[in-house]
Structure 1
Amino acid sequence: MANESNKTVKVRLVRGLRGSQSRHRLSVKALGLNKLNDVRELKDSPQVRGLIAKVHYLVRVEE
């Protein structure tokens, strides 16, 4: 069980936010991504996975 809590996921912003919905922009900001090609390593949790699913067309996930 300890190994599962240490899992992380890398998220990269691969598309610009122009033309996207304001709620999707807020989701990207909640993931900690500001500029194009920004990368964040986040704890793999259902909340993070939900944000990624909402903006799947803007980000790339590297597990």
Structure 2
Amino acid sequence: MTTDKTITVEQTGSAIGRPERQRQTLLGLGLTRIGRRRTLVDTPAVRGLIAKVAHLVKIVDGK
């Protein structure tokens, strides 16, 4: 099953001083520094990762 829905997320908070699990979640999303944006396939797994670090990222665009 292929889907063409994507979601763009931007890192808005620093990983410094955060628990290792949150740092690894940001890396899993492909975010390494504040201001970096990534366009990802909109799946439940990606939505779950975003929810875990919602205080460090924002959804810029969802198509």
TM-score (structure 2 length as normaliser): 0.89
Q: 1:26 aligns with which of 17, 24, 27?
A: 24
RMSD of the alignment, in Å? 1.1
Deviation at 1:20, TM superposition (A): 1.1
* Runs of 4+ more than 6 Å apart: none
Higher helix share: 1
Counterpart CA distance in 2 for 1:54 and 1:9 is 16
TM-score (structure 1 length as normaliser): 0.89
In structure 1, the gaps of 5 or more residues are none
Identity of aligned pairs, percent?
A: 38
Equivalenced residue count is 60
2:55 pairs with 1:57: yes
Counterpart CA distance in 1 for 2:50 and 2:33 is 16
* Equivalent AA in structure 2 for residue 41 of structure 1: T
2:32 pairs with 1:39: no
* Equivalent AA in structure 1 for residue 56 of structure 2: L
